[in-house]
Amino acid sequence: MKNGKKTEEFGLWLTQYLKPKSQYPVFYDHGNQQKDQTVVAIKGFFGDKVTNRNRLADVDVMVVNNDNEVILLIEIEESKMSPKNLIGDIFTAMMCNRFAVRIKKENKYFDVSSKTRLIVAGVVPNQGNERDIIIDRIMPRLQKFHKPNDTLQIDKIKIVTGKDVSETLEKLKNEVRSVFTMG
């Protein structure tokens, strides 16, 4: 299976799921860019305009609102996720104050706000050392970091894991449903 195929399937599912809530456009980075303008590179950066010098993160999925605010960022690791990759996914997203997508040769910008959430989803055994490291060490230590107010806040981060990519994505869908039923 090609890399990113499950992320593409999730992006399509999320687009259909949020379609009745037209105030939440969805962008995702795997799929047919010629066919669908919501399939784009999602570039996280710190500053006013994205450049190669201030670009910090690329995420897989982004949901925004009509006020150009990022509501939800999702990073999906389709293969086994190491604690190192998890920390990298979290910190690079946390350092960004804006995200951009390029549509029809023009950048469209979205701001991180107090509404912005990050979900990192990946394959991690349901038991054992790696899961313990994530739950008992990484998340408590993240809580101690001080960050600027205009970036993603620690309490808006959720980690979703499963024993394989199918279980992980089912849990991710449930988490997304809870985000959009809570408002």
Count of structural domains, the chain: 1
- Stretch 143-162: mean pLDDT: 76
Q: Report percent pLDDT > 70 for the chain.
A: 84
Compute the chain's Rg from CA coordinates: 16
Residue 165 lies inside a defined structural domain of this protein: yes
Query: Lowest mean pLDDT: which of 62-71, 101-110, 156-165?
Result: 156-165
| pTM (two decimals) | 0.88
Pair of tokens at residue 129: 């050392």
Query: Which residue, chain included where needed, has tokens 């982004």?
Result: 62
Q: Nearest Cα to 123, choosing from 81, 172, 60, 159? A: 81
Position 182 in a domain: no
- Over range 120-127, report the average pLDDT: 78
**Contact call for residues 119 and 180 (beta carbons, < 8 A):** no
For residue 45, pLDDT beyond 60: yes
Q: What confidence score (pLDDT) does residue 67 get?
A: 95
Could you tell me if residue 173 is inside a domain?
A: yes
With cut-offs at 50, 70 and 90, classify the pLDDT of residue 172: very high
Residues 64 and 15: beta-carbon distance below 8 Å: no
Range of the domain at 173: 5-177
Average pLDDT taken over every residue of the chain = 86
C-alpha separations of 4 from 11, 35, 61 in Å? 10, 17, 12
Rounded CA-CA distance 153/162 in Å is 24
pLDDT band at 120 (very low <50, low <70, confident <90, very high): very high
Does 8 score more than 50 pLDDT?
yes
Classify residue 108: in a domain, yes or no.
yes
Taking residues 22-38, what's their average pLDDT? 80
**DSSP element (H, E) containing 107:** strand 106-111
The pLDDT-based confidence of 107 (bands split at 50, 70, 90) is very high
Three-state DSSP class for residue 58:
strand
Do residues 39 and 11 make contact, with C-beta atoms less than 8 angstroms apart?
yes
pLDDT of 131 above 70: no
Give the percent of the chain with pLDDT over 90. 52
Rounded-to-integer distance, Cα 123 and Cα 76, Å: 9
* Largest separation between any pair of C-alpha atoms in the chain: 47
| DSSP-derived secondary structure letter, 155 | G
pLDDT at residue 28 in the model: 95
56-97 tens-digit pLDDT: 999 999 999 999 999 999 999 988 888 788 888 988 998 899
